[in-house]
Chains A and B, each alone.
Chain A
Amino acid sequence: MTQALSEDDIYRTSTQYRLWSFSPDALASLRTKTREIAVERLRRSSEQQAARNDEPEVVEYLTEDEELRLTQRYCDQIRSTSDHLKWPVHVKATAVQYLKRFYLSNSCMTYPPKEIYKTVLYLASKTEAIHITVSDYARRISTDPEQVLAPEYKVMQALRFTLDVKQPFRGLKGVLMELLNLAEGLVGAVDGADSMNGDEVKASMLQVRRPPEGNRTQWTPPSSGTLDGKHLNDRIQAAYSAARTLLDAPALLTDVYFLYTPSQILLAAMHVADEPLTSFYLSTKLPISLSTRPQILATIHACADMLAAFDQGAVLTKDERTALEAKLDKCRDPGTKDLIKAFAAMRQDGMEDGKVEEGVAQKRKAAREKNERDGDDLFGPSLPKTNEGSR
């Protein structure tokens, strides 16, 4: 039995598509639901506390927008930390995506992003094969290794143990590769597309309009007015680097990864970078007869609008962040306050999610405490008794 898979089918098998792709409405409702659950939990615990202290406490919770902006701010933080460590771009993208995915099912009030983002970055460095020890990593970002490791299992759970993040960077290189070949008149055949021979492609590529005002590319046509292959090469390279910049900041700080596929994202970035060139390129790829062509183009345009609309100034400044975190401190979940201690307890007793039976855990705990108590004794703790052997 032979079954043919197309590129789209390959993407459909990925966990990114199966678990981490949402329509805008679904994404919004998911976030609302997560926040509601977190708030409900907080309200219950504060009521209990109020009952104990006999003084009603009025807490102001973070709004959904505030949560989103705080998360975005920490995505930016991951980007700068990763740059500081001189890690390649794909680690950065993976880490940012982990953080975003984590906050789909967790609220900032339960796990403040300040405690999570280092872990997420370290986890991403492991999946993307940047080999660094945790102590080394902690030293370089001046933090405590325990702090990095403590939330790791929580993060893994929230990620549903799917670690693969499909990214547009390699694909963008593929597009660059093809564009440069087209400029040389080398065309790869595509089923159904009207095939032009090499010279025609070269000629029509030189005819492509100059990029309009709004485009991000740095390239301007030569003043002499006559284009040749070298100028074309420069144009392609300029469009590529502009698109890459777009894929770094706006693509990582918005929700495009949830809403679009990497292929659409990268073509949208190219679209924002140099629209006429990208349109020409797509015309060689998508034949007019293709039934999904209008939809593909519309999706790319929608994604491009989203990327173009992103404003780096909208990211929280340091002061705003401090203010928001002060507010967060008041309303944060007390149950998850000491992650390090919880982590240490889990390691010692295995008391997470009933992994070890309660009796066993308690027994172990009692033995440990007794040992510690006796340890303060001048002559140290008594030796464990042996059964009748010494007589």
Chain B
Amino acid sequence: MSRLAQHKTSPITKREVRIGDAQDEVCPVCKSSRYLTPSLRFLINPECYHKMCESCVDRIFSHGPAQCPIPGCRKTLRKARFRAQRFEDLQVEREVDIRRRVAAVFNRREEEFETLHDYNNYLNEVEDITFNLINQIDIEETNRRFEEYEKMHEQEILENASLEEREKVAFRDAKKAERDLAKERRDLARKEEEEEKKEAEENKRDVLNRLAAGQDAEKVTKQGQQVTLKKRMDRQAAAERQRLLHLSDARNGSSSLIRGLKAKVKAEPEAPIDPFGGLKVETKYFSVQDDYVWAGVQETKADVLMGAGGYDVREFTTRALCDAFSGLGVFIGEDSAERERIGVDEKAVGTITAERGVKRMEAAS
């Protein structure tokens, strides 16, 4: 049983599903064509996927189950199961039907499995069965497995199906709630705008009135402005309070928007990449300053061509200072004597990483 195996007895042959053919427009049973009967409607039966026109279906199957009228096809068909074709390609139509049927039975969820690996294995198994059904490989064995599973897990299948249904409803409700909320917000914003406009108007009138009463013009205008500003600030503060309230609501999970979400654990921030495997350079004799007055550094820093490629003059200053002092406290005469004394061989003076590699090899052997 392999997916590469060729199926021999497909119910539909290539010739029948040619698209855009004149044959599509002619009923293969009564030969009436769309040209003469514009209301011609084709139906298919998922038993054998042979298509025929509506009137033929009425004529042949009205009195109960009968054999398919297509020559060579001996499937017994019922009228109730005839339906309109959804996809142009009948192969696709059939595959979708089979997949739907399989999905209705094999409706396990990821949460039911202990590991992702198990879930993936299950999915693979399901896909195997689906593939076999579609391509009619080992059809009896596959059907037997399918039915066996269906019988054994009847209860769970039902449970999962109802769960899915509930989820669908919940999703629809959530969508609706969201829409309502958005509408509410829009209304609020509109109302606020109107109020603001009204207030501005009022304030203006007030100022005019006072001016008419003969008060000092400059003072009045200033006061008016202040009043407007204060009102606006108040409104903004209130809006902010409202927003914070909403936010805290959402955080406490009392939001009506979506229920039953898992509490999200904030991911640990990723550690920065350490290319030297834990090695760190700590300088003993110097510390690099941000800037150096030396013309060589200054000129390079000012040179656009240098900076364009991402070169930073600090690369140089750091390296130059490291060069200036690396080995200052290394005394060759003594050290080499010491090296001989403790018998450090060359391999052991390698980098830490190399040393680790050696250890690993030793552990493995």
Contact = CB atoms under 8 A, between A and B. Distances in A.
Given A10-B322, A188-B289, A264-B328, A22 B297 contact: no
B324 A171 contact: yes
Contacts of B325: 7, 171, 174, 263, 285
Q: Name which of B319, B325, B337 has the most chain A CB atoms within 10 A of its CB.
A: B325
B188 to A, nearest CB: 55
A258 to B, nearest CB: 8
Nearest to B356: A1
A262 B287 contact: no
Interface string B288-315: 1101111011000000000000000000
Contact of B324 (A18, A22, A263): A263
Query: In terms of DSSP, what is the predominant structure of the interface of chain A?
Result: helix
A24 B328 contact: no
Interface residues of B, number: 43
A42 interface: no
A7 B285 contact: yes
Contact of A261 (B278, B289, B294, B330): B330
A190 B289 CA distance: 11
Interface string A283-307: 0011000001001100100000000
A19 B350 CA distance: 13
A142 B182 CA distance: 86
A12 B330 contact: yes
Contacts of A18: 346, 349
Given A264-B327, A295-B331, A5 B321 contact: no
A292 B329 contact: yes
A17 interface: yes
A11 B280 contact: no
B58 to A, nearest CB: 80
B278 A299 contact: no
A292 B325 CA distance: 14
B239 interface: no
B324 A181 contact: no
A177 B294 contact: yes
Given A3-B279, A188-B288, A177 B317 contact: yes
A372 B279 CA distance: 61
Contact of B336 (A23, A171, A264): A23
A372 B291 CA distance: 70
B351 interface: yes
A283 B335 CA distance: 25
Interface of A: 1-8, 10-13, 17-19, 21-24, 26, 166, 168, 170-178, 180-181, 184, 186, 188-191, 258-264, 266-267, 285-286, 292, 295-296, 299
Given A7-B327, A171-B321, 16 more contacts: A3-B279, A4-B281, A5-B281, A7-B284, A7-B326, A10-B281, A12-B330, A17-B330, A17-B332, A171-B323, A174-B321, A177-B294, A178-B286, A188-B286, A188-B287, A264-B328
List the 9 shortest-distance A-B pairs measured between CB atoms, nearest first: A261-B327, A174-B320, A11-B327, A171-B324, A23-B333, A174-B324, A171-B323, A7-B326, A4-B282
